[in-house]
Structure 1
């Protein structure tokens, strides 16, 4: 009996367990089917490219389609403050908390809301509009993101000039964004070897790109300047066709230029030789002038030395004459003294005999 009761207890427990599993499975399937039946917000899988100044549509729609007229739809850029670009609520567009840079430039297609189309129209696109946009419906908590890339393009302008080395082609394209690339192609579509293009960004944020290339007749008669920007997937190109006789004119011009170069070369050489000769003569004259000045200085020095010697000789002669005069005077003086002395002695000798006779008489 106890075994029978145990068996019934186990069966009842198993039945309860089965019922619970069935119930939870049914609930899970119901919830899954409910979720699967709810609409999703669908946006573009690739970035949207807008050209500067044009109008653009940022696609966003409910799938499966359902009426969105009574729903709240929020368009925003998370990187901005305030972030809201456009808000649809209670059947009207709200301007509260709208980013001022989008004022009067955003709108929804009201006649398409009942089909679940909540796409945003953005007018007069600016460079600052580039970014990541969020399309969000709060009531069903569904969102999707759209990347907007803004670009600006213009067709290149070609120019042609003659050069002794060939024909020079010039290409310039203004008003690009982002920064573009420039290529030269020949008649067969092959890249031509050219220097790196020059790129300048203006105060408006747009780029101007330019390049020059020298071409010859061997490259063909048709040439293309291509400007492209891969991010916005935009390409612009301009082709030019050069007549064959234009290259002939270049060849003739080359000959003429060669003759002119030869004449100019001879003229330059002649001027250089003339200048060198002039410098040589000028230096020679300068050297001769210095030599003459040195010789004049030497002559003047010799003359001065001679005059000095003459003066010194005269001075020596005067001194000698003076000395001789003094000697003569001394001799004359001595002779006078000697004569006087002699006379005195002679007089004394003459007086001695008389005195002797007087002495004798006195005796």
Structure 2
């Protein structure tokens, strides 16, 4: 049996009839399972791999070649590639940075992912990664350290765990209309740079606040509902809702917290459960003649404001 392992033009390991010859550059770092050769195991173990030794390795088993037809002689050569050995990242030219060609769309107030990954899958743990918007650096990862622009503190993040899989996606939370624009991802490694551009488009508010055009009527000492809802049906759980009478704030809901004017304590309520369906109706209990007048509902979300007015008449 004669076995040769080659790397480019260099013969790395040579075995013939029990005798072993090893390239001086690989001495003490390569081995073959000699006791398992009879079972067809001719795997080469390469230790302490260096950058210069990454690439294509060719196995030539001449014992097989002698038994092969000349037309099939190429079947005696097995190919393997050292793509990424732990501790030795591949050269930048071996991968590319992939970002979506089409714009990424988001609704105001939502969390959005700006996708980016290395292809083929390559660990980015030892690389430097920068996310920018225009000339402003938003986020930077370098050798295990993270830096975030103070303007984006708690709003942006990158999964360090996913870097091992070459995933560099940036998560941007609670996006606003002002977040629309071009975002650049840059990867630096071994003096080389890869750049990808993503356009984020945050949609304008696509709902309206609906209130009845006619006055709402009620009898004294009864309970009355001042109707208001979002159309199309849109969750209002993450919005701020204010009910006022003139300049006086009666009720406020904001991010799960409720505040009620002390003069209306125990007299007004809003169904938190119904907010998920975009229903913002205010219940006013035990109404009196003095409660007659105009009531305003305001919805504030992502810098936008919707307003509707309901007139209450007490007979």
Q: TM-score range by the shorter chain?
A: 0.3 to 0.5
Q: Which has the higher helix share?
A: 1
TM-score, normalised via structure 2 length: 0.38
